[in-house]
Chain A
């Protein structure tokens, strides 16, 4: 997750003199958290200065407007203003001519120009907080202007007010830079400014300046009990009475604003401040709004409800961890407090919570409730049971400083004594893994600066992880990472490893590439559809999804059934494109998934193709299948008519067989299915189960000698019964004489001049000999034999 960190604030905990934010970002990103963006501060306030009102006069032409004279240092400016709270001697924010403001806090930034308002000159503007982006910091009512004197109580003594002083300087934000930093999930410690500073101090070898606050010793207990210690390994509850709650001082608001948080009131701001400073979320309850003034950490009862601080009411389930009073939940543990017990300006007694909740429980509860917060984001990463000590100490310190009050009682529950994890690693192993020799002294020094307790002898290094890393450091190997990253990956050479004995490429992947290339050569466009499909996609194509492997938790019904054929997806693609593409040649080569009892499904590569065209689409599909089979070196293919399948057109479909093996199914889509897609044209498909096909593929290239002597060509048209196939005729006539080199179909005709039930089918014959040029008489003899064979085998008549 990303955090926003003020560079100024960071400087409170690590000495960063002479290091500018840019250089800081470049160096830290290489060894620690990645700093993704820098936002220089105060630019929005260019041209906004501090002014003191000298005189307020009525506007002659408007009741609600005043003519105000303001000392802005360089001059006394005259400004027409409608603020309802204008007073003489008041300190205000003045936008001078040329500066940019947002009118009434809305719309684009507008540059100020000298103007006349109802006939009176105005040189600039006295700003409301929302007009200069400060409404979150200094809320005030709608008609008013920002009164800096009251807004900056607590900060004013830091800088004497002076007319003309840039507002950004007064607010202390000019010169600051906010860093946008990515913190990896294993480092919740670095989500806090102190953790970040510790990283920086280690990497930059600069002094680390932070000191923990001390938890006061309090004899009296606060009324807290923990029933679910499995999910709450630490709970410190502190009750402080007699607090006065109001607006936080500017220094505190400023820190929250720099991190993108909105100030609320002193106590809430303090808990948020500590979350940002130490990385540990806290919560504060109004003691007097707690039934029997007590807290109990327990599991929610099924159906209990709570109105959270986001204003929504949540229904809780058994097993969700809550902090409850005697009657009802007052917080979903680690996620959000309830509206009922929220601390407000009227609160006089508070119950502060600093605790460690089980990360998995927090994550599951947040997911189930769909309720997220800054606290939850931190807790679900896993925080140490030691962390609440520092957080509570700091909270008590700040509350007493800013709100007064006295600690009434403090309870500290911890499920078991803390034991810091300790790991060891051989020094030689460190160098071996990094690839360059590492000095023992440097290794030890790095770990110590990161907070580890280190012991080392000549061979081994033994390190105890600091508590803020107790979830993240899990083995000796983690120590290597710490040492290597601080050393700097940029300081390592890039070495290409020695080569190994080459391995054969995976044959299946090679063969798939071959088929893909063959399909492309044939003019087909490759599609990629999702492996999981909707029920509709399957059913529309006449497939039954019930026997398919299904996703138990699909994103939606569109991604549910693991397909067992590529064809339903191809049909969808063709349908979606048919408005624009009246003819289409598509293919896909991907795995399909056949469920197997008690095993993983069979992931079987298939080839599917779709041709959207005219009457001969099925022939094109067949041509594509033939092209692919031939390209794979599969030649002994016989085609069988497929007339009994509800998916395929009974007259225009066929299966390609090699011996008993089915290698391809082609044909036109059955008209009853095609109708559902409203195709305008004929759709034909190719379906190939590739393991069958690849088993028969051959890489052997065989040379057939090119004839030395010219051959003769003859055409022959035969009248045969309609049911006789070209494939059979060719096979038989080819064998009529050894001089026949090839027989090729070229035309079939039915209709006028051909008797009913018969067809005219025509072939090219190539006739030749390898040792001589044939005489015409020789060729005639061969053709007579062909005709005789045709008559005998197929009751054919020669058609003239």
Chain B
């Protein structure tokens, strides 16, 4: 029996069928019909037994030729139809990419948490151990041991918050109050640790004031370094390190004389700025100085042997001095308006 015409006919039918296939599914059916286990080619191969022995190799080759040809056509057609399908999908999936993105669940740290972390990290790199001073404390740590005598105005009832509580059983410790500065941290460190101490007290403090630039609860930090041989040039060194780390390497520091009870000499620290708001190109950063001998004495140390440096200023104020924040009412920080909190 001559299978050749049948083989060629199958080849042609397959070619036509593949050419007319519109989808990958149709192609799949065509593949089953011609190349499948029970397909037309396979069926024909069963007839091979009826072919004469001499013609059989020729027919076998021809059958293989037809099969390979169909497979090639099939593969080409698959590629092309798959491409068309993707093309079709892509043409459906044209979006307006200027629409806003979908937010993943997002949390926010309060600006002050961010500020406290940034300041702590800077000073920790310089070897300062970060500590948090008590917020409720005895007068001794907030005032008396810091060379602020009984009649000092800060100790008046209209400056500092006092607690409705009994005074300390240790008479010298005095009344219970909300610390008006983190310098009480310095007093505790001096009492509890042995020099050398290099530490950084940061935390909450409280004063009886509220307006654009003051809130009754705010944050401060106080740096302390006490050892033998600590001098003014070290204070300058540390301040310069901080200012360059926090505000930028191009900034400069200068000290101006000032007056604080717990330091002598005392300074106001200025940083250079190109801001037009600043007088004279300098902005006031905060106070600093060399620990007052009375403060060292109050801690039971000998001011002839030890000297120390100290600096301390408001976290809010210092953080807001970094250009760009532009927060003009300090009270906003503690109103907890989510429209504010979620900006950061």
Chain A interface (Cβ within 8 Å of chain B)?
Answer: 25-26, 29-32, 34, 36-37, 184-187, 359-360, 363-364, 367, 380, 429, 432-436, 475, 477-478, 480-481, 484-485, 489-490, 492-497, 499-500, 502-506, 508-509, 513, 516, 519-532, 549-555, 559, 562, 573, 576-577, 580-581, 584-585, 591, 593, 595, 598, 600-601, 603
Extra 11 A-B pairs, beta carbons < 8 Å, given A496-B240, A506-B132, A559-B217: A364-B156, A475-B293, A475-B294, A480-B265, A492-B233, A496-B237, A497-B230, A508-B132, A525-B342, A526-B113, A529-B336
Can you report 6 A-B residue pairs in the complex whose CB atoms are below 8 A from each other?
Answer: A433-B231, A490-B255, A492-B232, A521-B107, A523-B106, A525-B107
Query: B338 and A553: CB pair below 8 A?
Result: no
Known: A26-B280, A523-B106. A502 touches B259 (CB 8 A): no
**By the criterion CB–CB under 8 Å, are A598 and B163 in contact?**
no
Q: Chain A residues near B336 (CB, 8 Å)?
A: 527-529, 573, 576-577
Q: Determine how close the nearest CB of chain B comes to the CB of A78; give it in whole angstroms.
A: 45
Please determine whether B156 and A485 come into contact, CB atoms closer than 8 angstroms: no
Distance (whole angstroms) from the CB of A584 to the closest CB of chain B: 7
Write the residues of chain B forming the contact surface with A, with a CB cutoff of 8 angstroms.
105-110, 112-113, 117, 120, 124, 126-127, 129-132, 134-138, 151, 153, 156-158, 161-166, 169, 176, 178, 196, 198, 204, 206, 208-210, 216-217, 225, 227, 229-234, 236-241, 253-259, 264-268, 279-280, 290, 292-294, 303-304, 307, 333-334, 336-339, 341-342
Picked from A364, A485, A519, A527, the residue with its CB within 8 Å of the CB of B265 is A485
Contact A184 B258 (CB under 8 A): yes
Given that A478-B264, A552-B164, A595-B165 are known contacts, is A527 also in contact with B254, CB under 8 Å in the complex? no
Nearest-Cβ distance from residue A562 to partner chain B, whole angstroms:
7
Given contacts A481-B257, A497-B238, contact A593 B136 (CB under 8 A): yes
CB-contact partner of B241 in A490, A496, A519, under 8 A: A496
Say which residue of B107, B158, B229, B294 sits within 8 Å of A520 (CB atoms).
Answer: B107
**Could you tell me if B338 and A581 are in contact, using CB atoms closer than 8 angstroms?**
yes
- CB-CB under 8 A from A527, the residues of chain B are 110, 336, 341
Q: How near does chain A come to B177, taking the closest CB pair, in angstroms?
A: 9
What is the CA–CA distance of A603 and B188 in the complex, to the nearest angstrom?
Answer: 15
Contact residue among A481, A519, A577 (Cβ-Cβ distance under 8 Å from B338): A577
CB distance A493 to B169 under 8 Å?
no
Assembly CA distance A477 to B293 (angstroms): 8
Q: How far is the CA of A584 from the CA of B169 in the complex (A)?
A: 46
Bound state CA distance, A187 and B259, in angstroms?
A: 9
Given contacts A34-B268, A492-B232, A553-B208, contact A600 B138 (CB under 8 A): yes
Q: Are A554 and B161 in contact (CB under 8 A)?
A: yes
List chain B residues, Cβ under 8 A from A480. 264-265
Chain B residues lying within 8 Å of A530, measured Cβ to Cβ, are 216-217, 334
Cβ A523 vs Cβ B107 within 8 A: yes
Give the CA-CA distance A554 to B232 in the complex, in Å.
40
A600 to chain B: which residues have CB within 8 Å?
Answer: 134, 136-138, 176
CB distance B130 to A505 under 8 Å?
Answer: yes
Select A435's contact among B120, B124, B137, B231, beta carbons within 8 Å: B231
On chain B, the residues within 8 Å of A495 by CB distance are 233-234, 236-237
Q: Majority SS of interface residues in chain A?
A: mixed
Chain B residue, CB-CB nearest to A485 = B257
Q: For A496, what are the chain B residues with a Cβ–Cβ distance below 8 Å?
A: 126, 234, 237-238, 240-241
Residues A553 and B342 in contact, CB atoms below 8 Å apart? no
> Is the beta-carbon distance between B233 and A436 smaller than 8 angstroms?
yes
**Inter-subunit contact B208/A555 (CB<8 Å):** yes
Question: Residue on A with the closest CB to B284?
Answer: A34
Contact A499 B127 (CB under 8 A): yes
Contact A551 B162 (CB under 8 A): yes
- Determine which of B106, B169, B239, B279 lies in contact with A598 in the assembled complex, contact meaning CB atoms within 8 Å: B169
- Contact in complex: A526, B225 (CB < 8 Å): no
One of A184, A478, A516, A555 near B109 (C-beta < 8 A): A516
Whether B334 pairs with A585 at a CB distance below 8 angstroms is: no
B233 touches A551 (CB 8 A): no
Given A553-B162, A562-B136: A528 in contact with B110 (beta carbons within 8 A): yes
Q: Cβ of A521: which chain B residues have Cβ within 8 Å of it? A: 107
**Cβ–Cβ < 8 Å partners of B178 in chain A:** 531, 551
Give CA–CA (A212, B174) in the complex, Å: 46
Most buried by B among A477, A522, A524: A477
List the count of A-B residue pairs having beta carbons below 8 Å apart.
220
Min distance, Cβ A516 to any Cβ of chain B, angstroms: 6
Knowing A516-B113, A554-B161, A595-B165 touch, does A505 contact B129 (C-beta < 8 A)?
yes
Query: When chains A and B are docked, how far (Å) is the Cα of A257 from the Cα of B176?
Result: 47
Choose from A434, A500, A509, A591 the contact partner of B232 (Cβ within 8 Å): A434
Given A363-B153, A481-B264, A527-B110, A489 contacting B254 (CB threshold 8 A):
yes
In the A-B complex, the 9 residue pairs with the smallest Cβ-Cβ separation, listed nearest first, are A435-B231, A520-B107, A523-B105, A481-B265, A435-B233, A184-B259, A494-B236, A496-B237, A489-B255
Give complex CA distance A497, B333 in Å: 36
B157, B225, B227, B254: the one within 8 Å of A553 (CB)? B157
CB distance from A731 to the nearest CB of B (A): 30
Q: Hey, which chain B residues are within 8 Å of A32, CB to CB?
A: 257
Cα A532 to Cα B169 in complex, Å, equals 25
Pick the contact of B161 from A30, A434, A551 — CB < 8 Å? A551
Bound together, the chains give a CA A456 to CA B341 distance in angstroms of 62
Collect the chain A residues with CB atoms within 8 Å of residue B268's CB.
Answer: 34
Shortest beta-carbon distance from A437 to chain B in Å: 12
A555 to B106, alpha carbons, bound, how many Å? 36
* CA gap between A690 and B280 in the complex, in Å: 49
User: How far does the alpha carbon of A504 sit from the alpha carbon of B137 in the complex, in Å?
Assistant: 25
A555 touches B216 (CB 8 A): yes
Measured between beta carbons, the chain B residues less than 8 angstroms from A552 are 161-164
Chain B residues, Cβ within 8 Å of A581: 338
Roughly how many angstroms separate A553 CA and B264 CA in the complex, as a whole number? Answer: 32
Given A434-B231, A527-B336: A360 in contact with B279 (beta carbons within 8 A):
no
How distant is A461 from chain B, measured CB to nearest CB, in Å?
Answer: 15
**Residue in A360, A528, A555, A598 with the greatest tally of chain B CB atoms within 10 Å:** A528
Q: Is the CB of B108 within 8 A of A526?
A: yes
CA distance A798 to B198 in the complex (A): 67
Q: How far is the CA of A551 from the CA of B279 in the complex (A)?
A: 40
A522 in contact with B107 given A502-B127, A527-B336 (CB within 8 Å): yes
User: CB-nearest residue of chain A relative to B229?
Assistant: A432
By beta carbon, the residue of chain B nearest A529 is B336
Q: Is the CB of A525 within 8 A of B338?
A: yes
A478, A485, A550, A555: the one contacting B164 at CB < 8 Å is: A550
Smallest CB separation, B330 vs chain A (Å): 12
Q: Contacts of B153 on A, CB cut-off 8 Å? A: 363, 380
Contacts of B196 in A (CB 8 A): 500
Q: Are A549 and B204 in contact (CB under 8 A)?
A: no
CB-based nearest B residue for A559: B216
Complex-state Cα separation, A281 to B113, whole angstroms: 48
Interfacial chain B residues near A363, Cβ < 8 Å: 153, 156
Per the bound structure, the CA–CA distance linking A577 and B204 in Å amounts to 25
B233 in contact with A601 (CB, 8 Å): no
What's the minimum C-beta distance from A400 to chain B, rounded to whole angstroms? 38
Say whether A34 contacts B256, CB under 8 Å. Answer: yes
Q: How far is the CA of A30 from the CA of B217 in the complex (A)?
A: 32
Query: What are the residues of chain B within 8 A of A523 when measuring CB–CB?
Result: 105-107
Question: Which residues of chain A are near B255, meaning CB under 8 Å?
Answer: 489-490
* A503 contacts across to B, CB distance below 8 A: 129
CA distance A562 to B176 in the complex (A): 13
Complex CA–CA separation, A754 to B82 (angstroms): 49
Q: Which of A436, A500, A584, A601 has the most CB of B within 10 A?
A: A500
Given contacts A34-B268, A480-B265, A553-B161, contact A520 B109 (CB under 8 A): yes
Residue of B nearest to A185 (CB): B259
Give A424 to B135 CA distance when docked, in angstroms. Answer: 38
In the bound complex, CA of A793 to CA of B124 (Å): 57
Q: Which residues of B contact A30 (CB under 8 A)?
A: 254, 256
| Distance A475 CA – B130 CA, assembled complex (angstroms) | 32
